[in-house]
């Protein structure tokens, strides 16, 4: 499996399991139809904005759960804060680089 695929798999699992764990399967399927987990990798900012349009004030808590889940899967502590999506995605990318070596493709 390539680095990119591994990262995608990791992030998809974090996003779907965090939503499922908080709001259930029905909400997870509905939400990930509108907010693709892969968007979190390519643009955490856009992911946040799209999520906020749909679930509004519930966004910070859901992002906190996603960051926490991804941190646990990576075995790291979030650098900048409990809800820092950009930070945790950067850490995830770095972890993939460390795992495989080689230059960054992002």
Partner 1 sequence: MEEARSGDQNLSGDQNLSGDQNLSGDQNLSGDQNLSGDQNLSGVAESTLTMLLSSKEKGELLLLFHRNPGLMDDIEGIARRIGRSSSAIQSDLDDLVSIGVLGTVRIGSTNVVYLDRAKDKEVQDSIGEHIRSMRK
Give, as ranges, the residues between 13 and 42 that touch partner 1 (CB under 8 A). 18, 20-27, 29-31, 33-34
Tell me the three-class secondary structure of 20-80, residue by residue. HHHHCHHHHHHHHHHCCCHHHHHCHHHHHHHHHHHHHHHHHHHHHHHHHHHHHHHCCCCCC
Closer CB to partner 1, residue 55 or residue 74?
55
Which listed range, 4-12, 58-66, 72-80, 92-100, lies at the site for partner 1 (CB under 8 A)?
Answer: 58-66
77 touches partner 1 by CB under 8 A: no
Q: Would you say 53 or 79 has its CB closer to partner 1?
A: 53
Q: Tell me which of 8, 13, 43, 55 binds partner 1, using CB under 8 A.
A: 55
Q: How many CB atoms lie within 10 A of CB 35?
A: 22
Q: Contact between 80 and partner 1 (CB under 8 A)?
A: no
Q: Which residues of 49-85 are buried (b: 16+ CB within 10 A; e: fewer)?
A: ebbbeebeeebeebbbbbbbbbbeebeeebeeeebbb
Stretch that binds partner 1, among 1-9, 37-45, 53-61, 88-96 (CB under 8 A): 53-61
Q: Please report, as ranges, the residues that interact with partner 1 according to CB under 8 A.
A: 18, 20-27, 29-31, 33-34, 50, 53-58, 61-62, 64-65, 82
């Amino acid at each position: 499996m390539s680095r990119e695929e591994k990262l995608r798999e990791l992030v998809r699992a974090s996003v779907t399991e965090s939503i499922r764990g908080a709001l259930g399967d029905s909400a997870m399927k509905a939400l990930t139809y509108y907010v693709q987990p892969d968007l979190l990798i390519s643009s955490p900012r856009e992911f946040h904005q799209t999520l906020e349009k749909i679930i509004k004030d519930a966004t910070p808590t859901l992002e906190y759960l996603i960051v926490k889940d991804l941190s646990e899967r990576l075995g790291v502590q979030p650098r900048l804060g409990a809800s820092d999506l950009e930070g945790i995605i950067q850490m995830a990318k770095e972890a993939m680089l460390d795992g495989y070596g080689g230059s960054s493709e992002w």
